[in-house]
Structure 1
Amino acid sequence: MLGFIAKSASSTSAQRHRFARAPRFAPLALLIPALLGGCSTASYPSLARRAEEKPIAAPTAATGKAAAQDGATADLNAKLDSLRRAARDADKAFAAARPAVDKALNAATRAAPGDEAWQQANLALSDLERQRGALGLVEGDIEELYAQDRLAHAPENPDAPRAAVQMIETARSEILALAAAQDRVLAAARRKLPR
């Protein structure tokens, strides 16, 4: 019994000590709401969208596809222009070589095959054929581009863009016309060389 009384007395004194500190924190507990209340009076900018802030339109698939096609068309234009320039340069070099061939062939009109004049005419003709080869390289490039375009527009690829078809065909016909003209000149020059 004495143990129980001693135990209850000690627990009562512990409780007294615990609550003895509470009055010291009471002013702090009253101060916290006052401090937090002051925070709520501050004004913050609104998160609503301003008039000058326009929403950015997300690119649609159609816009992206159109941009890709424009880029591809620009690249194709640049490539075709480059091929046209190369063809014109090759044609100028071919035209520049023609007078020497004509002169050598006229000098070898009565020469027998193997004579000095005949050999000079044959060398001049070989130079003209070499000049024709420069245009042949451009011709090969445009034919390759044309073949790739034909494959892209085959019946199994119905969604392939068709904007470039006319551009390629136009450039191809211009280059092939230059090549055909050079072939006619070469054929005529070969007929002049004595056999």
Structure 2
Amino acid sequence: MRSCQRGKQGVFSKDNATKITTVGVRYRSEIVKKIVHIFHNPIDNVAARFHLDRKIRARQNKHWLLDYPNNKEGFQRWCADMNENSTRTLSSSRWIDSSLTKVMKGVPCLAEFYHYVHWHNLAFTATSDLQVPSFLIHYEDYSTQFKEVTDELLNFLGLSQVGYAPEFINHKEYGNYYSDHQKQSIAMFIEEFSTKHTWQNVKHHLSDFLVKLIDP
């Protein structure tokens, strides 16, 4: 629950009354009245995390960008380096038994996929503990049902539309950043580590890879 309470708050700068900066805060759970829970395809979500990391590092270390180019090769190298540092830590946890350790094998960017599953598991737990209404959105629905999803969200929040929404530009899909075997390993891992609610909302992105894995 404490992890879910962390966030960012916009505050006016002390030096410039028109400038807004963000600061890290921990919100009191009592002020939460409604929850909007968004699901993004995990395959694309982790690739987006790679792009975000490149964007952040571009301000600090240009040489890093050369080592991790903005393509499949750079992504795979990023994942491999991440696994070198995180796989042993996760597999040695007292909560992870030998059968779960086995499921981790072959998963690229293991820490990122673990955080993805853990975050959604906790989001459902927080919703249940707080006993507040929630609205669940699948990211891909914005590209096919933008108006319907927007209207439903505004209705859920009790808000009226002001002006016109900008055109929604769907981000690229990044399935080609992974090998077929990696996608199969990711699907097995997420199914094993997900709660029932998390798996119900993500399995349509991954079930094809599980079928391929069990087919002769």
Fold conserved (TM > 0.5)?
no
The structure with the greater share of residues assigned to strand is: 2
TM-score band, normalised by the shorter chain?
under 0.3
* TM-score for the superposition, normalised by structure 2: 0.23
The structure with the greater share of residues assigned to helix is: 1
* TM-score for the superposition, normalised by structure 1: 0.25
Structure number with bigger Rg: 1
